[in-house]
Structure 1
């Protein structure tokens, strides 16, 4: 059941309603209360060497006016020239607000905030864009366990050291010596047509 509220105070009202319903059904584990909202993604960069994902989340919550429980921060990675950067997902309202501020401060460090473009629809089964898993037209093709960097199974892209190989471009007969979804990726969108190729293929030796 979906309950939709309207009006200028709908966010606060929805929060109160969700909290109250969670209390009423606390002894009913089969009932799940969720507070859906539009989400946005930002990039936090330039944080000091001792900053943690928890520090970034706290600053976003404070300046964005949202709850810490609504924020997800990825691993902080060191990019070119030693610059540290992290991906952050929070409510679209909070993401837009902190992006307008541009530079946030949390105790002893500052970091810059950039609003990222909304991601296109992507199927988590075949990994192609243009549709979702519930409407996947790819048949037996299942790339859900594939590494986004090399295309093989058994590990994640963040720990991968293998040469880049895009399984989507490989299946489409295009140059594939790049990371899936990267700037060089030219994989076609699949809005309902089946692409050639079966399950994920490993990069050539």
Structure 2
């Protein structure tokens, strides 16, 4: 019978903790970038410029129908052919933003389309500009309608940071692979890392639910 020996990986816990911090930083930067860009693209999709709308729609479809790992490789290994060299962390952040922005944009578009057209028409009759209508009427309602879907996508973003291990970024998964090769304790290392991902996923989910509960309490007051 196999006997677990977690003591063999105890000396590597500081290294794994450092990798975890890097993973959290990667997640935070990609989250901010994805959310910001998604709201901008969702705004453009509602505009009158047909070519811009088509460009964004093609971008969303291409990204949603290709693996994030291929996108990562294209950014990290492909851009140097055009003279643009990125360090692994920057390439990882950009790839995660590019991937998740497509999904969140599509989620937001669904939320925007669910808003009754009469509200927008009434706002236009009242003299509000398109930007003011988007910020004051469309965006708040779309955000509420799509909150669960967007936060689920952000959790997926966190889990997808493991893909960055393929471009030599020493985040949590890459460091775990290195520790496993050093200690020959594959099962213990990956079991520990799986537990870390599960715990952090529950923590993220709990934080998102807390924010939603606080928002609901604030709106009912």
Shorter-chain TM-score: what band? under 0.3
Q: Which has the higher helix share?
A: 2
Q: Which has the higher strand share?
A: 1
The higher-RCO structure (CA 8 Å, 6+ apart) is 2
TM-score by length of 1: 0.21
